[in-house]
Structure 1
Amino acid sequence: MGSNHRGEWERDMLAAGRLPPGQSLTLKSPVLHVGSVPIFRPGSWDFRVFGLVEVQLRLSWEEFSNLPQTELSADMHCVNGWSRFDNNWGGLLVTELMRRVKLRPEARHVMVHGENKYTANLPIADFLRPTTILALRHDGEPLTAEHGYPLRLVVPHLYAYKSVKWVRGIEFLDRESPGLWEFNGYHIYGDPFKEQRSSS
């Protein structure tokens, strides 16, 4: 795409309300993460839902990958300033996962746990949005290892540091608690349209 066409597309996305302030368009799939890319071992992999739930849930890879799946299209906005539009994600909607989980009344927040001790926090209302998906595929293909294979949470309306790669667990809490990047100065909520990049 030439610079003129790219500039026109950015203006169109801005006019449509899809390009947050301070962001620029990318057609690539930038790779950013903490630590090394983990090795996926399907025989020992599991996914857990725990914390303030009536009964904890543990799923093997086979069990998880056989749950009902959906495709959806969503934009992605990185706190570092790039936006990638019309990503096609395939996987398990969080609303579908929650059909199997009964929350305790005091549950208010979510801590998402990934490999390499990565964590990110979300208010429960954001986690439960119909566009939040536990993705196994991107643009029709299985996720690549560097983009979170086998499982990545995608929270399209917040900065991508909330879209945790290599997800292994969801913990429900009664209070807000910072995850890894939030603890290190990133904004606790991370709304790209309000440019909530840092806690300061």
Structure 2
Amino acid sequence: MNTKHSLENRVPPGQHLTSAFPVLHYGEVPYYRDVSSQWNLRLFGLVEEEAVISHDEFMKLPRRTYGNDIHCVTTWSKLDNEWEGVAVATVLERVKIKPEAKYVMLHAEHGWTTNLPLEDFLRDTSFLAIKHNGEALSPEHGYPVRMVVPHLYFWKSAKWLRSIEFRETDRPGFWERNGYHMYGDPWEEQRYDFD
């Protein structure tokens, strides 16, 4: 739940509630024949030394349960989601971020990207998910690992996460280059930026 807003005010302007979990994406859904050999997570950019976490290593990292509401730019909101995932802080134990890093670019399968300010990526509420409502993520919802940044529109919660790039400057990702807002706060209705 977004603690900034009361229980009576959990749905941002222009949103409607759904109990479903709609599948929205651009391009093909990646499927893995052998996820242990085909998936890893790379941490690079403004770090002292790059790191790569294998799938087997990632699955051994400590996990937590998270609860939140999610809001899609296409106007649906789904309340009371329960996730299992790995805290950002746990993943970042593998690297030392350089002080000039102010942004991250999340890189996913098929060249898909999205940008975030570093401070949003580092929030305690942001995490790398492997399960939703007790079930392993389906390929359509980002298996094996998706980022979850619940305080922003859900396109910022990159499916099929493959690498995290630490940057000094902001740069638009895939949807941002195609007219979506650079930040995406649902409470400010930061959906599109066609200026």
TM-score category of the 2 structures, normalised to the smaller one? over 0.9
Secondary structure of 1:161's counterpart equals helix
TM norm structure 2? 0.93
The equivalent of 1:68 in structure 2 is 62
* Match of residue 49 from structure 1: 43
Name which of 185, 188, 192 aligns with 1:194.
188
Choose which of 131, 136, 140 in structure 1 pairs with 2:130. 136
How far is 1:18 from its partner? 1.2
8 Å CA contact 1:87–1:138 kept in 2: the answer is yes
Residue 56 of structure 1: how far off its partner (Å): 0.6
Contact 1:34 1:116 in 2 (8 A): no
The match for 1:20 is 12
Query: Which segments of 5 or more consecutive residues in structure 2 lack a partner in the other structure?
Result: none
Q: What is the aligned-residue RMSD (CA, Å)? A: 1.3
Which residue of 2 is the match for residue 30 of structure 1? Answer: 22
Counterpart for residue 10 of structure 1: none
Q: Is it true that 1:91 corresponds to 2:85 in the alignment?
A: yes
Structure 1 residue 46, shift from structure 2 partner: 1.1
User: Among 67, 73, 98, which residue is 1:79 paired with?
Assistant: 73
Would you say the 8 A contact 1:14–1:20 is kept in 2?
A: no
Distance 2:7 2:136 in 1: 33
Of the three residues 74, 94, 101, the one matched with 1:107 is 101
Measure how far apart 1:15 and its partner are.
Answer: 6.4
Q: Residue 194 of structure 1: CA displacement?
A: 0.2
Q: What are the residue-to-residue correspondences of 1:171-186 with 2, within 5 Å?
A: 171-186=165-180
1:126 matched residue in structure 2: 120
What is the distance in 1 between the residues matched to 2:193 and 2:6? 25
Provide the C-alpha distance between the structure 2 equivalents of 1:198 and 1:14, rounded to a whole number of angstroms.
26
Aligned counterparts of 2:133 and 2:38: Cα–Cα separation in 1: 27
Measure the CA separation in 2 of the matches of 1:78 and 1:61.
Answer: 28
Q: Structure 1 length normalisation: TM-score?
A: 0.91
CA deviation profile, 1:167-194 (whole Å, cap 9, x unmatched) = 0000000001000000111000000000
Contact map agreement 1:158 1:191 (CA 8 A) in 2: yes
For residue 182 of structure 1, give the secondary structure of its aligned residue in structure 2: helix
> What amino acid is aligned across from residue 37 of structure 1 in structure 2?
V
- Count of aligned residue pairs for this structure pair: 188
Give yes or no for contact 1:95–1:129 (8 Å, CA) kept in 2.
no
Amino acid at match of 1:79: V
Is the aligned partner of 1:169 residue 2:158?
A: no
Find the aligned partners of 1:135 and 1:19 in 2 and give their Cα distance. Answer: 22
